Amino acid sequence: MIKKIASLFLLLAAISCIYPKITIKGKGNVKLTQVDFEQFSKWQETNHRMALMAFTQSCSRLAKMPQNRLIGGQIGEITAGDFRDVCEIANVVKGMSDAQIKNFFENWFKPFLVATRNGESKGLFTGYYEAELRGSKTKSEIYKYPIYSKPKNLTSEPYLSRAEIEAGALKDKGLEILYVDDAVDLFFMHIQGSGRVTLPNGAIARVSFAARNNQPFIAISNYLADNNYVSRSNMSADSVKAWLRANPEKAQEAMNVNPLFIFFKLSDLEYPIGAQGAALTAEHSLAVDNDIIPYGFPIWLETYLKKNGSKEKYNQLLIAQDTGSAIKGAVRGDIFFGHGKDAEINASSAASSGQYYILLPTNIVDKVSAEMKLRSK
C-alpha cells in the first residue's frame, strides 16, 4: 500500500501542471479561484503533521455518514463518499515523514482562494479558546452562578433571552449541571462555547456546547463604547473583562445586551468537540460559516495577531471543523487556540483582516468543475 501511494505521489506531481487553473462559482455567494501552493508564505514551515492529524479526525466523522450525504455547503454537490480515497491515504501517510505529509497535501489537493461572488477575498478572522473556570457540583456562597443544560422545551424558535434566564426563568428546574464562582468568566465561556471547570477536589469537569437559545449574537463592545465605559481604541477582551469586574452593579445589564445564551453538557472526552463532531486541535481547527464552507476541508489561512501594539503575521494550515453564532459569510473564520493562558492571549489578539484558501481533493475539483459546466448550459 505504501509503495502504491508513493507511486501515486510521483504520478500526481508529474501531471499537476497539465490541467489549466480554474475558477469555481459556487451555488451561493462564494467563488473559488485556483492558485499555486508556491505562493503561500510560510507554507514550508507550517506543521503539516498536526494539520494531518486534525484532518483524520474529520475523516473519522465523514466515514460514519451515509456516503451519499451532501456535505458541500455552497461549493457544490459534494458527498461524504467523495472523501473516501483521500481519507484512506491520509491514514496511511500519517505514519510517514514530515516531507511526505507535506507532499500529501500538495499532491492530493488543489488550493483555491475563497472570495464572495463579487470577488471580495478579505474578511475578519478572530480566535477562540477553551475557557477555564472554577466551580462545584453544588451551589454555595462561592459557587453560585449556574451552568445550564439544554431545556426539554427548546425548539428551533427563539427561546428565553439571556436577560430572562439571568432573572431566574430557569431556576430550580433541574437544569443546573455545575456552579461557578465568576459570572464574567461564565459569560465569556458562553462566547467560546466550551470550557474546563476545576472542582474543589482538583478534578476537571469539561463542558461542551449542547444548544443555543436561538437568539442573535450581539457583541457588547458597542454598548460599552457608546456609554463611554470603554473607549473603542482600547476595546479588547481583557479591557471588557476588567470593566465588567470593576463595575458589578452595571455588569449584568451590559452582558444582557447579548441575548444569546448557550446551554452545555458534561463531556468525558479528552478534547473539546466542534460542530462537525470531530475533536478540535489547537491552532489547526477553524470555525467557519458551514452554510457556505463545508466541514472537513483543509484551509490555508493568512492573517495577523495583534500583540503589544504591533501586528504579527499568522499563517497556518487548519481544518474546517466548527462554527459559531458570529461566524457568518464566505470569508470569515475563528481560530481555535486550545486552552490555557497563552491560548486566551492568542485568541484575544486575533481580530484582523485576512484571507484564506480552501484545499479541495483533486477528485472533488473534477466533480465540481463538471457540475459547474452542466449548470452553465
Quickly list H helices, 82-215: 84-93, 98-108, 162-164, 183-192
In a domain, 250, yes or no: yes
Which whole-number Å values give the CA distances from 67 to 214, 276, 286, in the listed order?
30, 16, 24
pLDDT digits (tens, 9 = 90+) for 222-260: 999 999 999 998 888 889 999 999 999 999 999 999 999
The Cα–Cα gap between 38 and 111 comes to: 10
pLDDT band at 110 (very low <50, low <70, confident <90, very high): very high
The answer to whether residue 186 is domain-embedded is yes
* Domain region containing 197: 133-267
Buried b (16+ CB within 10 A) or exposed e, 193-232: bbbbbeeeeeeebbbbbbbbbbbeebebbebbeeeebbee
Tens digit of pLDDT for each residue in 51-106?
A: 999 999 999 999 999 999 999 999 999 999 999 999 999 999 999 999 999 999 99
Q: φ, ψ for residue 310 (rounded to 5)?
A: -130, 165
Residue 13 banded pLDDT, cuts 50, 70, 90: very low
Q: Is the pLDDT of residue 11 over 50?
A: no
Please, how many CA atoms are within 13 Å of residue 346, restricted to the half-sphere of its CB?
18
The verdict on residue 201 lying in a domain is yes
Predicted pLDDT of residue 14: 42
pLDDT band for position 375 (50/70/90)?
A: low
- At residue 171, the pLDDT reads 95
Asked whether residue 64 is assigned to any structural domain, the reply reads no
Quick check: is 298 in a domain? Answer: no
Which cell is 50 given? 498536526
Q: In the prediction, which pLDDT does 310 show?
A: 86
pLDDT of residue 3: 54
- Which segment of 2-16, 171-185, 299-313, 359-373 scores lowest on mean pLDDT? 2-16
Across 137-165, average pLDDT: 97
Q: Is residue 39 part of a domain?
A: no
- pLDDT of 318-338, one tens digit each? 999 999 888 999 999 999 999
Of residues 237 and 15, more confidently modeled: 237
**How many Å apart are CA 34 and CA 17, to the nearest integer?**
12
| Cell numbers that stand for 314 in this block | 499568522
β-pairing, 31-34 with 310-322? unpaired
Give the model's confidence band at 135: pLDDT under 50 very low, under 70 low, under 90 confident, else very high.
very high
Task: Express each pLDDT in 283-294 by its tens digit.
Answer: 999 999 999 999
Supply the Cα-derived Rg of the chain in whole angstroms. Answer: 22
Does residue 147 form part of some domain?
yes
Q: Is residue 146 part of a domain?
A: yes
The grid coordinates listed for 279 are 475533536
Contacts for 214 with CB less than 8 Å, ≥ 6 apart: 154, 155, 156, 157, 158, 159
**What phi-psi label fits residue 172: left (phi over 0), alpha (psi between -120 and 50 degrees) or beta?**
left
Q: Tell which residue, 86, 51, 82, 49, has the closest CA to residue 67.
A: 82
- CATH assignment of the domain containing 165: 2.40.240.50
**CA separation for the pair 323, 304 (Å, rounded):** 20
Q: How many domains does the chain have?
A: 1
